Amino acid sequence: MAVLVTGGAGYIGSHTCVRLLEAGYDVVVADNYYNSSPAALERVKKISGRDFKTYEVDMLDKPGLEKAFEENRIDSVIHFAGLKAVGESVEKPLLYYRTNIGGTLNLLELMVKYGVNTIVFSSSATVYGIPEKVPVTEESPLSAINPYGMTKLNIEGILRDCQAAQPDLSVVLLRYFNPIGSHKSGLLGEDPKGIPNNLLPYVSRVALGIYPHVNVYGGDYPTKDGTGVRDYIHVVDLAEGHVKALGWAAENKGAGVFNLGTGEGYSVFEIIAAFEKACGRRVPYQVTGRRAGDAPIVFADCRKAKAELDWAAVRGIDEMCRDAWNFVSKNPEGIK
Ligand code: UFG
């Protein structure tokens, strides 16, 4: 029996495959390599010392995706595949709805056809919109402030509806905060194509000398130093959360929703300082205007994941920055 990992070649997907293989699960990966590369999966095999089947397929190609179900005994799915750039989603909402929601519908229909009863979904703290109160708990109000966030919110709703209609289904919605860091081997890491939208990949490229400085989006927020505060979580801790989610699903029918963060908030300035310490270089920055749609401060209440998944993040900010730098300095051109 195997876990089908959609988007398994991506940043969080590849780290999760490593943890699944180490934990003894068999894995089958489906990925179209739109924002990733098959080389990442070769590296997963190298790290884990285990082989697995891969399918180069788009989630919208239902017959192509069906091959993964036909040719393997899939008993659970971890669903990462989808588009994730907030700004692009504002410009191309239909692309985001078609890709993220359409792909999920294909997957769910195939799960019904092949009797697969477990799905872990890659949701996001974006479903909390701009939180009024922090830390955010799983009960905090939900809202979407861009089409990307709306796809996450809609897919959560679709999965809950499917679970209500099919009581033997186990659904786990994992709301990630801000994943950073890399596998300690330096073989896997975040490798966005084009100009990065997110803070850490941008900071890394400034440290590499690719860009002259970081644009700090807003220095006048009501936070400790005026810059935005987020809950950064090491991607290996996040990967472990998926293994725990499969364990939860094996014991529980129903829909479980869990925040995966550290419970600590760091400002943009604190991240730049931690990264400078990790790489031993200066990371110049300029404070510019706020980015539309950014919350001043977001961090998680993670007590539910601790209590019900027996999961907690264990890696701190210095380790996150050290591991991120280890990856980018060894792979300045990404994963090829
Ligand atoms: N930031 C900068 N400069 C940059 C990039 C980001 O100052 O070049 C700041 C942002 O304003 C924010 C912080 O750094 O205060 C983090 O920004 P990211 O873009 O790295 O992350 P976000 O919190 O905006 O978004 C991330 C994911 C989304 C997800 C969201 C959930 O990118 O997919 O977390 O909260 F939905």
**pLDDT at site 193:** 86
Reported as a single tens digit per residue, the pLDDT across 268-297 is: 999 999 999 999 999 999 999 999 999 999
Protein residue with least CA distance to atom 14, ligand 1:
199
**Residue 205 in domain:** no
Are the CB atoms for 144 and 153 separated by under 8 Å? yes
**pLDDT at site 191:** 86
**pLDDT at site 39:** 98
Among 268, 297, 317, say which to mutate for ligand 1: greatest number of ligand atoms within 8 Å of CB. Answer: 268
Furthest C-alpha separation in the chain: 55
**Residue 54 in domain:** yes
**Residue 282 in domain:** no
Among 126, 223, 235, say which to mutate for ligand 1: greatest number of ligand atoms within 8 Å of CB. Answer: 126
What percentage of the chain carries pLDDT values higher than 70? Answer: 100
**Residue 203 in domain:** no
| Residue range of the domain that includes 55 | 2-180+231-261
Distance of CA 199 from the midpoint of ligand 1 (Å): 6
**pLDDT at site 259:** 99
Domain count, the chain: 1
**Residue 123 in domain:** yes
The single residue of 55, 148, 221, 266 carrying the catalytic annotation is 148
For 50-168, where are the E strands, in sequence order?
Answer: 53-56, 74-79, 118-124
Residue ranges of the chain with per-residue pLDDT less than 70: none
Protein residue with least CA distance to atom 19, ligand 1:
198
81: CATH: 3.40.50.720
**pLDDT at site 265:** 98
Reported as a single tens digit per residue, the pLDDT across 167-196 is: 999 999 999 999 999 999 999 999 888 899
Q: Examine the residue annotation and report whether 55 is marked as an active-site residue of this protein.
A: no
**Long-range CB pairs of 107-112, under 8 A, 24+ apart, other chains included:** 107/6, 107/59, 107/65, 107/77, 107/79, 108/158, 108/159, 108/162, 109/62, 110/62, 110/65, 110/66, 110/69, 111/77, 112/166
Are the CB atoms for 239 and 245 separated by under 8 Å? no
Q: Which atom of ligand 1 is nearest to the CA of 202?
A: 8
**Residue 332 in domain:** no
**Residue 87 in domain:** yes
**Residue 65 in domain:** yes
Which residue type does 282 have? Answer: R
Reported as a single tens digit per residue, the pLDDT across 5-40 is: 999 999 999 999 999 999 999 999 999 999 999 999
